[in-house]
Structure 1
Amino acid sequence: MTFRADYVHDEDEGWAALVLHDEATGVTFEVQRTLAPDEQDERLGTDTYCLVVDGGASVYGGLHRWEILPQAVLALRLTQDAATTLGVAAELRLPLHEDAPPVVARALGRLVRRTLWDDLADRRRALALPMVPLRRDGRRVRTGGDVGDWAARPDAVGVGPDGEVVEVRRDASDHRRSAVWRTGDAAPPVVLVGALRASWVQPLPQGRVLLVGAGDDPDVDAEVWDADGRRVAAGRLGGARAHVLATPSGATWIGYGDEAGSALGLHKLVRVGADLAPQWVHPLPVDASHLPDVFDVYALNVVGEAAYCYAYTSFHLVRVEGDTVADLGPVDVVGARAVLLDGARGALVGGYRGRHDVVTPFEITPDGVRTYDPVGRLVDLDGGDVRDLRLVARGDHLYALHRDGRRRVVTLEQLLDGRRV
């Protein structure tokens, strides 16, 4: 099966279309769009592109992403609803004639485009959902016990495997000194002298703590300190870290963003031990490993020793424990910021553009990840927007961290079944 491509643009009739046609089987796949949508189109939701299979089944929208792969193959990722309506798989690979890729690329760039009106329509639909408020995390972090002019705003706040919160603050009068406090800890804070300035912090077993710096230091950007304030390990993890989550055993999962360029960061998802040496890295190249593409880790959750990763560009949910990797399947949501899990039940928080606060339930089934209709919008406890909060998922708990150290929390049960406004 090899598809030829034709692009039709008819100003008089007011429409344009990409037509993919396989001469051997007669199969066709079309992407159509009206050139001048009117108010009725906007009202009916038909002011976007339309997918058509074999001149029959059709659906407006429904294309998550497209990409022209090597060997002239068009990869299409559809929403599950669109795939069901069209009677095709959610992930399609269409071999193209050797002359087709430039035509397809130009046509899809014109037809499958988002406009300001698309973004506004997304936000309008999101605002119609009920609000699901975060709750105040009332646990106190000890802030006394040592003589020091500790900064009012922490350098870093982290949440450990059991929900324990740790904070790192600098001594305002002596920047060589920093202190680590923990929730519910009756002992004085641990004072560190000469520690790097942390953007990430994680509690480790035996009272140790992991500090990860903000930048991409060429020598050391991560340190482990013990309960007596001694540095016991140091290493380089590389820049563009997006997630840092420790496990009960003392290992740490790290998810990287798309700008990661270090030898470790290029793997995008890695696990390091308490000595900061790599224990597991996502295979490269991805094509050779038969695993979904991980180019930018959007959401990471660590349950016990297992990591659940949701990443651009594939937007699959992948589970890694030990050296065993399981692709749980594509997720019918793109651009989410957090993933919560409780067994097979879960929820995604966020999405692209106007859906940045939308809560979407899902279920892990033997056939893949099944998503359901959104149940609400996540908001701060005063109704404020959560766009600028750092979201940290730990199992079925979601922690939202303000830059000034204020903490919020919500559980999966509260997200899906709790009170809404």
Structure 2
Amino acid sequence: MTEIFICYRRDDSAAYAGRLYDQLAEYFGHDHVFMDIDHIEPGEDFVEVIQKKLTSAQVAIILIGKHWLNITDATGQERLDNPDDFVRLEIGTILERKIHAIPVLVGDAVMPKSSQLPEVLASLVRRNAYEISDTRFHDDVNKLIHALEKVLPDLTPINFTKPTHAHGPDDTQTLKDQLSKKKPRKVKIIIGVLIIILIGGLTLTDQISLKKIMGSLLLNEQKTREKTDVASSELAKTDKITELTEDSTISELMEAAEQGDAEAQNILGLMYASGRGVAKNEAKAVEWYRKAAEQGNATAQNSLGVMYEEGRGVVQDDTIAMEWYRKAAEQGDAWAQTYIGLMYEKGKGVTPDEVKAVEWYRKAAEQGYATAQYNLGLMYENGRGVTKDEIKAVEWYLKAAIQGHNEARNALQK
């Protein structure tokens, strides 16, 4: 069943549509995301297939590029003015059937005015639009995925299996068995937290937050323990949180957080933000993120910044978001440094300043952060904030591509 329908014009946004489809299909599954070029077989009636897919669609993503509004046909007529234009027909059907429509602006496009559209499409401008930028593609797609999860709560990400209960004994035992064949008498509280979170599933943004949490926990290695499988031995390295029995539950995590453990507070914030293991409550997520952030926990500072930037659990405020990103960045956090670069580039919470954007990108890039390396390459390629230098652009693209950054690889192929 197709829940997500991608509407786009090939002459305007085909490349963006393909990249977006790949991300959404990887997360939600190919059967749940429709894009015409990948789903219409040779000889099939294009209109019939589109209409059939729209019948089952619950969300329609309408990609709008710089030339979306003004593309013309061979006679010079703007395509949207043609009642038989496929894109016009698709959007008209979407609006008529009251399918949840999300305009997505790509390539620095802006939302058209209702007066610029045919009357049948005029109501599209009342839909809140998302922006996907070349320089922050993954972060923007993560935000879009978060929005889609709100609209499609029953659509399970393919990377995670949602049980019928939050953290029942059977699911917990299965994951414990995967973590260790020879379980020691005591395990870390973090194992219990991972069990609760992983069986519930996370958005890509929350997965990144969890990886950052685990990365900080695994920095302090203990003496070698009893050798089991790789997962259990890696988890055994942390000495950050007090050891508890393997029957540990959310109550132990809550107790540790209330006693002032910053990592426990941070993890609890993540759980409340994602609704995994506890009832989703973004206000409580902010509360716990703040407690950890005020203790100097960089990951919590980043997460609190995201909550302010997106207006989740607090009143939206880019300026305050920037303050929390800066606190993390000043501790050397590469993700925060990159995001500050984006904020300066786009003028969110600060006066736009491409020179400062380059400065912050460089801080993160020199730490080996692939997204920052790619962004810095873009700045050099386009001469933004720095003197245009295609050789340096290639150098930074290469550094990012070696780490598997797809956009950097695409940039090198141009």
* Structure number having the greater strand percentage: 1
Q: When the two structures are superposed, what TM-score results if normalisation uses the length of structure 2?
A: 0.29
- How does the TM-score come out when normalised to structure 1? 0.29
Q: Which has the higher contact order (CA 8 A, sep 6+)?
A: 1
